[in-house]
Amino acid sequence: EAQVTQNPRYLITVTGKKLTVTCSQNMNHEYMSWYRQDPGLGLRQIYYSMNVEVTDKGDVPEGYKVSRKEKRNFPLILESPSPNQTSLYFCASSVRLASNNYNEQFFGPGTRLTVL
């Protein structure tokens, strides 16, 4: 089954304790992206990757790191989490079209993170 998986789905942690949220897709998609969703602010892009070893900042990259060593995986790393990073996080992927544009996005199920 074609899907994007995220782990963990729920996480409660404390300020400053490094964590990684994993994202994996089995559709051989070139494009992957991380978003956070907050009440009243909607979805905002954190980082995206157009292919292996190619990553770039979205609108809200501060406090986050990513890597794209393999096509299927795009982990989100919080080196020193803070309470303002409490949010619902989504990973998504999409395939590149021949026109060099990208197709619809497939979203993971979300990770609800609470930083105390």
Partner 1 sequence: KNEVEQSPQNLTAQEGEFITINCSYSVGISALHWLQQHPGGGIVSLFMLSSGKKKHGRLIATINIQEKHSSLHITASHPRDSAVYICAVRLGTDKLIFGTGTRLQVFP
Size of interface with partner 1, in residues (CB under 8 A): 27
DSSP letters, 21-63, are: EEEEESS--SEEEEEEEETTTEEEEEEEEEETTEEEE-S--TT
Give Cβ neighbours of residue 42 (< 8 Å, ≥ 6 apart).
none
Among 33, 85, 87, 93, contact with partner 1 (rule: CB under 8 A): 33
State which residue, 6 or 85, has the beta carbon closest to partner 1: 6
Question: Restricting to residues 37-56, which ones interact with partner 1 according to CB under 8 A?
Answer: 40-45, 48, 50, 56
DSSP one-letter code for 59: S
Residues forming the site for partner 1 (CB under 8 A): 31, 33, 35, 40-45, 48, 50, 56, 58-59, 88, 90, 92, 100-107, 109-110
